[in-house]
Amino acid sequence: MTTVVWFKRDLRVTDHPALAHAATRGDVLPLYVFEPEYWAQPDVSGRQFDFVLETVVELRAALEALGVPLMVRVGSVVDVLQDLQARVGFDAMLSHEETGNAWTYARDVDVAAWSAASGVIWSELAQSGVVRRLNGRDGWAKQRNAFLRQPQVGVPAGLTGPALPSDNVPLLVAKDHCPERQRGGRQMALSLLGSFLTERGQSYRKDMSSPVTGEWSCSRLSPYLAFGCLSGREASQAAAVRQREVKGTREGWGGSLKSFQARLAWRDHFMQKLEDEPALERRCLHSAYEDMRPKVPDAARRAAWEKGETGLPFVDACMRYLAATGWMNFRMRSMLMAVASYHLWLDWRVTGLHLARQFTDFEPGIHWPQSQMQSGTTGMNTVRIYNPVKQGKDQDPTGVFTRRWCPELAAVPDAFLQEPWAWEGADTVLGRTYPAPVVDVLQAARDAREKVWAVRRGGAFREEAKRVVHKHASRKDPQGHFVDDRNPRKSRVPAAKDTRQMGFEF
């Protein structure tokens, strides 16, 4: 009998448990389905479609080299499976567990119902540190770390199976202009991993937070991890090998690789939140915040933020950079969401959708928990209101980044670049070639802080916050490692702390 391997966000043949297991059962039919209904969802974009298309082309070649090409179909997965069963009569299907958006969750429910009714055994295998059906976070890190330490799954020596014709893939989502988008495919992923671990990553810890230095020093692996060109286990184990190679040296590698491993762990940690509570894509994690901001955001502020025309130079530079590249380092992602949520007082569900479309590396499990965290709606995280003027001065001290993306500010002296309204010649630029700021930065932050903290008062807030902490909060020991908090490890020597905000500057 033939086993269908349904590829989703796992577009590779290396360290692919589902493919390897299917190969032991006999004939294999590798399948990828471009779903028009998925590509009509509000959180997807042309840059993501192009990246996936390029990756699928590479995957098809890799599978063909093993003996059976990838079959690509266009349509609903249930319809495609129904057609394939009539053609080849398969009775088993393997795929990896996916922590996707609400639409893919509902799609998988439909596929499970079809499989049960059709006599097809559909098995979903783990491919990351995300654990299904957890009751709480105690013990999660132990399971996650055990999975990461397991040997990688080898590529099958060869595949046999039916070779069925593929569909031509039409353009399923409108093109968007992203001239500096990262190109899809595993070969690019391996190239970036190699250059990061041997060259670019040496100053990662020091340089990750600035958009000026982060573009080079971050791994840039995020889209390849998001769509499975590279498994998280491959990235973690490759970094571990490098950590052993540089052990004892004092060239910066030790701290940088430790920070990179921490980001891989935080990646799984945030994806676990959406896995445990899919509804957090649509509602505030703590219900007290549900009506704090208007559901219909201020149209003018929203448009200014999306276009990079807020009159806040560093914010505008970051938004324009993101639109052109499809990528942003973590600190700037946080700042963009925080400014939208606090200073502009826009609902995270609306701004989150815009950023989701802008990110080539859109990963629902990271994006939505982070959107809520940076908007102060979780009930368990510190309220972080970034000052965009200070961030500009700290992260772009020479102004090279801001000037590149906001050329209208060419006449503004360096000392006033991040706050041109304070320059005596402001009226020659603001409202003419560059917009005046849409808000008073300091006053808007004060107003937002008062509104957020007003919600946090009262016993009812604290009771629900306890539930959120039990279900979603990280457990850490004194060294910052994830642990089972019922049995924390003790440290005799306090470890050096990486004081940066935990994030995902891959």
Joined together, the tokens standing for residue 501 give: 């905000």
204 annotated ligand binder: yes
In angstroms, the CA 288 to CA 277 distance is 17
In angstroms, the CA 9 to CA 23 distance is 20
480 conformational bin, left if phi > 0, alpha if psi -120 to 50, beta if neither: left
Q: What is the CA radius of gyration of the chain?
A: 24
If you ran DSSP here, which 8-state letter would residue 497 be given? Answer: P
Joined together, the tokens standing for residue 470 give: 């039990």
Residues 6+ apart with CB under 8 A from 233: 15, 128, 147, 148, 150, 152
Strands (E), 97-174: 121-125
Joined together, the tokens standing for residue 166 give: 């593929």
In angstroms, the CA 340 to CA 132 distance is 33
Q: Which helix (H) or strand (E) holds 30?
A: strand 28-34
Angle, nearest 10°, between helix axes 299-307 and 348-358?
A: 20
Tokens 């080079």 — which residue?
A: 216
Q: Which helix (H) or strand (E) holds 34?
A: strand 28-34
220 conformational bin, left if phi > 0, alpha if psi -120 to 50, beta if neither: left
105 annotated ligand binder: no
- Cβ atoms of 441 and 390 within 8 Å: the answer is no
In angstroms, the CA 372 to CA 381 distance is 10
Cα–Cα distance list, 188 to 102, 195, 479 (Å): 30, 11, 34
Which segments are annotated as binding site for FAD? 204, 260
Which segments are annotated as binding site? 204, 260
